[in-house]
Amino acid sequence: MIAAALAGMTRVMCGPTVVWRCDPRTPRQRIYFGNHSSHLDFVLIWSAFPADVRRSLRPVAGLDYWNGGTLRRYLATSVFRAVLIDRAVAGASLPVTAGNQIDRIAEEMGTRDSLILFPEGTRGSGAEPGPFKSGLFHLNRLRPDVELIPVYLENLNRILPKGEVLPVPMLSRLVFGPPLAVDPLDDKPQFLARARAALINLRSSQ
């Protein structure tokens, strides 16, 4: 009930036009990767799917933000089933490296769940996506069986800008691209450039 209400409220508040270039009901596991400019980004992607698909769709999100308060923690763990990662590696009480976090994210997928993540690693201005960090590349190498789907979000930075708490109702646009054509011979820079270009190309999609 809470998940359905939250999905409905998000769609009303963001008024999204959703463009599908992939099958939202595929039984295959996927990683949906998008541009990042708002804390609403993964919520809007998640809310675009039918309820039965949402149950196996998990965002990768920052522990520092989503563990900051009882409500956020409840939503992250009980509604979104988020994979929470520690972005403050230097302050961690246990040895935490990018490598073992990627391993844990891959393990959290199991044989059923799909992920939502943002390869920039931080929120941008809402203009052109910034450089991608290496996580998507390493996840693909660990789970080459998983489809990679670029998702371009438009106007989320105006609905809930960085530093703001209350969203402003406004129209948005969400474009789900076709699966990324992955070349197993690509090295890391080539792979990340290919993934970023696929995302940017969705900006002009109708």
Q: What's the predicted TM-score (pTM) here? A: 0.87
What are 45-77's pLDDT values in tens digits?
999 999 999 999 999 988 888 888 898 899 999
Pairing of strands 172-176, 147-154: antiparallel
Pairing of strands 16-20, 30-34: unpaired
pLDDT at position 112 over 80? yes
What's residue 182's pLDDT?
92
3-class secondary-structure state, position 27: coil
What's residue 157's pLDDT?
52
Give the whole-angstrom CA distance, residue 140 versus residue 191.
10
What's residue 180's pLDDT?
97
What are 69-106's pLDDT values in tens digits?
898 899 999 999 999 988 665 334 344 456 688 999 99
Backbone phi, psi, residue 182, to 5°:
-95, 130
DSSP 192: H
The third-level CATH classification (topology) of the domain covering 2-204 is Glycerol-3-phosphate (1)-acyltransferase (3.40.1130)
Closest by CA position to 33, among listed 190, 149, 180, 182: 149
Domain-wise residue ranges, the chain:
2-204
What are 156-205's pLDDT values in tens digits?
655 444 554 445 455 778 899 999 999 989 999 999 999 999 999 998 66
